[in-house]
Amino acid sequence: MRNQPVRIVFILIVLLGVWMPGADAGTINALNAENLYVSGQIVNSHGEAIPEASVTLAVTGNDAPVKKTVLTDGNGRYEFKALFPAGSLLNARILLEARKLSYAPSVRISLLPIRASIDALGSSVYLAEANLTLMRVASPALWISGAVLLFVYVMIGFELVHRTLAALAGATLLLSCSYLVGPFYPDLRIISFEIAARSVDLNVIFLLFSMMMIVGVCEKTGMFQWLAHRCYRISGGRASLLAAVLMILTAVTSSFLDNVTTMLLIIPVTIRIARSLGLNPIALMVPEVFASNVGGTATLIGDPPNIMIGSYTGLTFMDFGLNLGLPCLLVMAVSVLFFLIYYAKDYRDVGKAIESKHPEPAIDFAIKDRRLLFLSLVSLGITIVLFLLHGILKMAPSIAALIGTTILLISVGRRVDIVELLETKVEWSTLVFFAALFTVIAAAQESGLIHLIADGVKSASGDSLIVAVLMILWVSALASAVIDNIPYTATMLPVVAYLTATVPGAQNGVLWWALAMGACLGGNGTLIGASANVVTAGMAEKAGYRIAFAQYLKICLPPMILSIVVCTIWLLAVEL
């Protein structure tokens, strides 16, 4: 009886291990069985993973036939496991099929499993690896996603509705088509909710959110108004010097804050100062907004297109500074010179400062809360240091921004109403716009539209790096002058990624710098080219100074073209 417990345990092991349900094969002796593992990745002709592809595996020609279908994960990988009676895989035929909407009919291949090892129970383990490439085809989904993307562009470009509503309507149309029509007509299932959710770049969302919070606190200190007034003092009332100093201040500020926020903070002070000098504020505001887009081009966090490029590629804050800093300085010097010449008569007519005749209360430009200013500067400094180090720390930029924001909010305590800050200083419409736009672009990518554009650009470049650089730079600049540069950049990210991987010599990342320069600086070309331009025009009109579309085009298109020429010379002479 002493061995009775051992016998009971042995019987349980046999019952649980020996009698196991096979893949439609009845019961299989696990102590003398064969295990089959098949895995691989499904990609397209660009080498990009295909999620949610249907992979069917069939094992025939043995005593335990199997047919099983699995879906690839977000990385395009699939895995198949099955247990078979001993000896049944020796003569088995293993077939693999892969299918996905917007791709050519499935690839069907025959696999030969390789005996790899013996497991702990003495069973043979067979392995098979199969990576498949599916080819794109034009499908109804492609045309629908293309039409929706064009619809969003038109709505935003002509300001028919708010850009957030345009992007949200586009995303809703695509998801509605996929889930309300897709079950009846599978060719119209464009994008799943899971892929749409994965497409939302949280790094971009949280980085924008964090910087909005930091700026919201800094604004309460009066720091930006104080800086603008110091520029007024430094210029001594000389309009030409004031314009140059304000442009430089705006550019530097826009390098670390988004340019829309910079203009919101600096325009009210600019209008006040211009009026005190007897100068039309437009002569200061237009150069300022131009400078804000130039300054925003220089860093990872200065302009939304750069934030999107950095998040998509993993390029660091230092990468942006080292590759875009010097060309932006050159563009800035050319821009200052251009506007000083263009507005020379206006500045000359103003004469010397007349501050004594029109005194302004010093309190308007005084620091409102010095302790809050100190805490804000410390937190902003920590954030910038973390931006500089995030590449070394392998940390997403959004984490650096979140750390700085959290430190600031904890340190200010009750000095700032957090709820009020969330309600009034965070541009929730912008964050929703990005989330919806990512879904629209993901649908275009899923349907093959982006793939088609990338192949077209590559074909036009003829594998020439110089042609590719010029195409990306100039097309981006001209396109961003007509449409909002954010949706344009989102569309071009996978295109440039493909060209960077396939065009000889592009692996140093030069095409990303061409895209950043073109998308950010091109927005200076027209009044609707960048969000900061639209905001500036709105605030100017509210103050009684209307900036017409044609007027802005006449003033800013020449220096925009000139700035792209400078970037062209830089890219061809330095980056290549």
Model confidence over 94-116: pLDDT tens digits? 888 999 988 987 877 887 777 66
- Least confident residue range of 59-68, 132-141, 326-335, 366-375: 59-68
Q: Which whole number is the average pLDDT over 36-56?
A: 89
Q: Strand 20-21 vs strand 77-85: parallel, antiparallel, or unpaired?
A: unpaired
**Residues 169, 161: Cα–Cα separation, whole Å:** 10
Distance of CA 69 to the CA centre of its chain: 34
Radius of gyration of the chain (CA): 30
Q: Which whole number is the average pLDDT over 457-481?
A: 90
User: Is the pLDDT confidence value at 15 over 70?
Assistant: no
Q: Is 396 helix (H, G, I), strand (E, B) or coil?
A: coil
Residue with tokens 């019987």: 11
- Least confident residue range of 120-129, 152-161, 521-530: 120-129
Contacts of 315 by beta carbon, 8 Å cutoff, 6+ apart? 300, 309, 509, 512
Q: Residue 19's pLDDT is what? A: 38
**Residues 368, 59: Cα–Cα separation, whole Å:** 76
**Residues 306, 315: Cα–Cα separation, whole Å:** 10
User: Is the pLDDT confidence value at 529 over 90?
Assistant: no
What burial class does residue 391 get, using C-beta atoms within 10 Å of its C-beta: 0-12 exposed, 13-18 middle, 19+ buried?
A: middle
Q: Residue 251's pLDDT is what? A: 94
Whether 573 contacts 321, CB under 8 Å: no
Residue among 303, 208, 205 nearest 254 (CA): 303
Q: Residues of the chain with pLDDT > 70: what percent?
A: 89
Structure token digits, residue 394: 């392998």
Q: Residue 6's pLDDT is what? A: 44
Q: Residue 448's pLDDT is what? A: 87
Q: Which whole number is the average pLDDT over 330-358?
A: 80
Whether 408 contacts 217, CB under 8 Å: yes
Distance of CA 184 to the CA centre of its chain: 34
Residue 69 has what DSSP assignment?
A: E
Model confidence over 219-262: pLDDT tens digits? 788 787 787 778 877 877 688 898 999 999 999 988 987 777 78
**Residues 161, 378: Cα–Cα separation, whole Å:** 40
* 270-277 CB contacts, 8 Å cutoff, 24+ apart: 270/228, 270/246, 271/540, 271/543, 271/545, 272/360, 272/364, 273/228, 273/229, 273/232, 273/242, 275/358, 276/354, 276/355, 276/358, 276/360, 277/237, 277/239, 277/242, 277/350, 277/353, 277/354
User: Is the pLDDT confidence value at 314 over 70?
Assistant: yes
Q: Is 21 helix (H, G, I), strand (E, B) or coil?
A: strand
- Maximum CA pair distance of the chain? 114
Amino acid at 256: F
Torsion angles phi and psi, residue 456, rounded to 5? -65, -45
Q: Residue 449's pLDDT is what? A: 87
With bands split at pLDDT 50, 70 and 90, how would you rate the model's confidence at 550?
A: confident
